[in-house]
Every structure is written in structure tokens, then in C-alpha cells.
Amino acid sequence: MKVVIACGGTGGHLFPGIAVAEELLKQGHEPLLIISEKKVDAEASAKYENLRFEVMPAVAKPSTLSPKMIPFLLGLVKSIGQCKQLLKTEKAEVVLGMGGFTSFAPAYAGKKLGLRTYVHDSNAVPGKTNIMIAKYCTKVLLGLEAASSYFPGRDTAVVGTPVRGELENLPSREEAAAKWGLDPAKPTLLVFGGSQGARGLNTLVVEAAESLECQVLHVAGQLDFERVKGLVGGREGYHTLDFCDDMPSAYAVADGVICRSGASSMTELAYLALPSVLIPYPYAADDHQTANAKVFADAGAALMAQEKDLDGEKLAALARQLLPGAPEREALVTQTRILGEGSAVEEIVNVVVGETSAS
Ligand SMILES: CC(=O)N[C@H]1[C@@H](OP(=O)(O)OP(=O)(O)OC[C@H]2O[C@@H](n3ccc(=O)[nH]c3=O)[C@H](O)[C@@H]2O)O[C@H](CO)[C@@H](O)[C@@H]1O
């Protein structure tokens, strides 16, 4: 079956799309991934030589009264035309949008051509674009049950969020520690701020680490890397990097994680049963990262704190609970593992290739 997957713009849309494409390929189907012109898409897709990618311009929607609205609408019309052409040339049978604005034109074009069309939303509070796209879709696929109420009258299915295939086989802790110049025998925290990094979180972690007895692998993000490196100085057992293109090795050395509550990051934590402190990105649309983090915190699968309520000392007290030997750690691991059960990739592929009629 020929399936076009629109998934660019951010790691949180791209990696789940790649995971679905890899499974489709394994099952003998023919996926094609539409990604955006953004650097993050080019970098992340480069290592998947087995997959076919098509770059399409995607412009984020400006606010309704913005003067940018007219060029945006013209761009959108053009983009829909290009997508229709691509779907026809590709002889696509199904369109799957992994969410966000890069999904709009492909999903709309697919609907107009009479193809089965799906959109996936991984957050507890779905994006406005996805709510808009939903009316052109055969079915809306959700990462978290909490999002169902935002799609009244639509056919929805809670399928979870796909995890990248490369996390199936982590390197050994020893190999991973050697890669980062860390000691495999020492407790280790992994810190990252989503695919775009996080200045406030970075500062808090550097402060907290001063009183923690553990190593730190800190992915600071490209924009904040030099500043964080300066703050850390030559501290032993503290490895800072700008972007991590080897998350399996990063997770393999970690006993616990401090990160934002983006849906893909959280899905990976659950899949690997890693305990975490989740610090929602304060400016995320509709505060959806707080809603995401609450799902894990309410299940006892993670600790959660707002950036504004934290200082170095408070964060250190939370992070200590993630380290081996801490009495709280075992329950967090158990609950996280429960949330990681089931395979979203399989469920999505079953829906996408299994259904036969458009609604
Ligand atoms: C600020 C914001 O609005 N972020 C949203 C964005 O997430 P964003 O893409 O920022 O974050 P996610 O947590 O969903 O995904 C991050 C992905 O990037 C990977 N990674 C991260 C750092 C790194 O150095 N290398 C690397 O590979 C992680 O392993 C993960 O797979 O889309 C998600 C899906 O709609 C939302 O849930 C997030 O809330």
C-alpha cells in the first residue's frame, strides 16, 4: 500500500512519522515522508537512507489579523496544489499527518482526492491545527485519552505515540558511558529540553547538579550550548552537548531524566521505563505540556514541577528521587513501565493499512 506521511517541523512530529514509515516498509508497504525545509528535518532524516523523503514548504499559520495572513493563504493554496500533484504522481492510497501545520495541506489534498486520511495528535491538549484538520479525516488517532474530548462527533482511536525503532536496541551502559566520557558505575542523570533546547531548565539543572552526587549528561540545545558550557566550567562527570543525534546512547547511560514534557520525550521515557522530573515548557500552546506532564504525574510515573516554582535546591531534591537507591525510585519505574505498554506503531499501521473504506 502506498502511504504518504506528513511529519516535519519538529522532532516531536518527525520521529513518530519515521517510526511508522519503518514499520510500513518492514511489512512490504511503500511509505513516502513529507518533511519541511527546516534544518532539524534535514539533519534528523539524513541517517534514514532506507526511507524516501520529499521536502515541501510549510508555513506556520499567523494570527488571523496579521498582515502575513494573505501571503500565508496564497502559500497554502499553492502547497495544497503541490500536495495533490504529489499524491497523484505517487498514486497514494492513504495520507497520514503526524500533526502540526505541515499536516494541513497533505491531509486536505488527500481528502479532496477521495483518499483515506488520518491525523495523529500526541498531546493531552491537541493542537488547533489538528482540530481543524480532523474534519477532513477518516479517523483521528490520539496519543493520550485526555485529548478525546477535543474531538466531539469525530471518529477517534487512542493508539499511543510511536517510538523510534532505534530505541529497541540500546547499547550497553558501558559502551554508552564511554561515548560520553562518563563512568558507567556512577549514577547518571540525562537532561534535555525537547528538540529545541530550554534556557530556563538548563540554568536550573546546572545549579541543582552542584549538590547532587551523580554524573550529568546535559543536552543544552544549539542556542544555549556555549552559555551552559561556560556555567558548568570544567566540572568532572558533567558532559554538555548541543544536540544529541544518538538518543539511544544517551538513554542507555541514564538512571533518571530531567526534561520538558513534549509527547515524544515522554513516550520514550515510558518505553524505556525511565523515571523523570518533567518540567513543562511554560510557553507551549494552550499550556499543553502541563496537561501532558499531569498524565504521568497523576499515574505516579513521573515527578512534575513548573519552572517558575523551582530553584536549584528544589530541583535537586526532586532529582535525588530518580537516582539508584532512592526509596521513591522503584514505584516511579513500575508506573512508567505500565504507561509504556503496547505498541503505538503497530496500532497506527493496523488502522492505516487495515481499514478499507473512507468515511
Ligand atoms: C515546545 C513545544 O511546543 N514542543 C512540542 C513539540 O515537541 P518537541 O519536538 O520539542 O518535543 P518532543 O518531546 O515531542 O520530542 C523531542 C524528540 O527529540 C528527540 N531529541 C531531543 C533532544 C536531542 O538533542 N535530540 C533528540 O533526538 C527526543 O528524543 C524526542 O524524540 O511537539 C510535540 C508533539 O506535538 C509536543 O508534545 C511538544 O510539546
Residue 69 confidence (pLDDT): 87
Q: What's 2-162's CATH class?
A: alpha beta
Distances (CA, A) of 157 to 75, 137, 153, 254: 32, 12, 13, 33
Find the mean pLDDT for residues 66-82: 89
Q: How far is the CA of 260 from the centre of ligand 1 (A)?
A: 8
Q: How confident is the model at residue 60 (pLDDT cuts 50, 70, 90)?
A: confident
CA neighbor of 127 nearest in space, from 240, 325, 289, 257: 289
Q: What is the pLDDT of residues 12-52, one digit of tens each?
A: 889 899 999 999 999 999 999 999 988 888 888 888 999 99
Residue 227 confidence (pLDDT): 95
Residue 359 confidence (pLDDT): 42
Find the mean pLDDT for residues 146-174: 94
Residue 205: is its pLDDT beyond 90? yes
Q: What is the pLDDT of residues 278-299, one digit of tens each?
A: 999 999 999 999 999 999 999 9
**What is the rounded distance in angstroms from the CA atom of residue 2 to the CA atom of residue 355?**
14
Q: Which of 115-119, 157-161, 165-169, 267-271 has the lowest mean pLDDT?
A: 165-169
Ligand 1, from 18, 101, 195, 224: best to mutate by most atoms within 8 Å of Cβ? Answer: 195
- Where is pLDDT greater, at 356 or 316? 316
Question: Ligand 1, atom 5: nearest CA belongs to which residue?
Answer: 262
Q: How far is the CA of 137 from the centre of ligand 1 (A)?
A: 24
Cell numbers given for 188: 547518571
Find the mean pLDDT for residues 137-164: 95
Residue 136: is its pLDDT beyond 50? yes
Q: Which atom of ligand 1 is nearest to the CA of 99?
A: 35
Distant-in-sequence, close-in-space partners of 70: CB < 8 Å, separation ≥ 6: none
Residue 210: is its pLDDT beyond 90? yes
Distances (CA, A) of 332 to 136, 144, 299, 355: 40, 19, 9, 37
Pairing of strands 116-121, 94-97: parallel
Most confident of 221-230, 251-260, 279-288, 340-349: 251-260
Find the mean pLDDT for residues 79-101: 95
Architecture of domain 166-339: 3-Layer(aba) Sandwich (3.40)
Find the mean pLDDT for residues 165-191: 96
**What is the rounded distance in angstroms from the CA atom of residue 281 to the CA atom of residue 160?**
21
CA neighbor of 107 nearest in space, from 183, 223, 13: 13
Residue 194 confidence (pLDDT): 65
Residue 1: is its pLDDT beyond 90? yes
Let me know the angle formed at the C-alpha of 120 by 119 and 126, rounded to the nearest 5 degrees. Answer: 105
Ligand 1, from 265, 283, 290: best to mutate by most atoms within 8 Å of Cβ? Answer: 265
Find the mean pLDDT for residues 214-236: 95
Q: How confident is the model at residue 62 (pLDDT cuts 50, 70, 90)?
A: confident
Q: How confident is the model at residue 356 (pLDDT cuts 50, 70, 90)?
A: low
Q: Which of 53-57, 147-151, 244-248, 354-358 has the lowest mean pLDDT?
A: 354-358
Residue 195 confidence (pLDDT): 60
Q: Which atom of ligand 1 is nearest to the CA of 283?
A: 1
Q: What are the structural domain ranges in the chain?
A: 2-162, 166-339
Q: Collect contacts of 34-40 with beta carbons under 8 A, ≥24 apart.
A: 34/4, 34/5, 34/6, 34/7, 34/8, 34/83, 34/86, 34/102, 34/106, 35/7, 35/8, 35/102, 36/8, 36/9, 36/102, 38/8, 38/9, 40/9, 40/10, 40/11, 40/14, 40/195
Q: How confident is the model at residue 208 (pLDDT cuts 50, 70, 90)?
A: very high
**What is the rounded distance in angstroms from the CA atom of residue 61 to the CA atom of residue 101?**
7
Q: How confident is the model at residue 101 (pLDDT cuts 50, 70, 90)?
A: confident
**What is the rounded distance in angstroms from the CA atom of residue 98 to the CA atom of residue 51?**
16
Mean pLDDT in the chain?
Answer: 93
Cell numbers given for 297: 504525574
The reply to whether ligand 1 has any atom less than 6 angstroms from the CB of 220 is: no
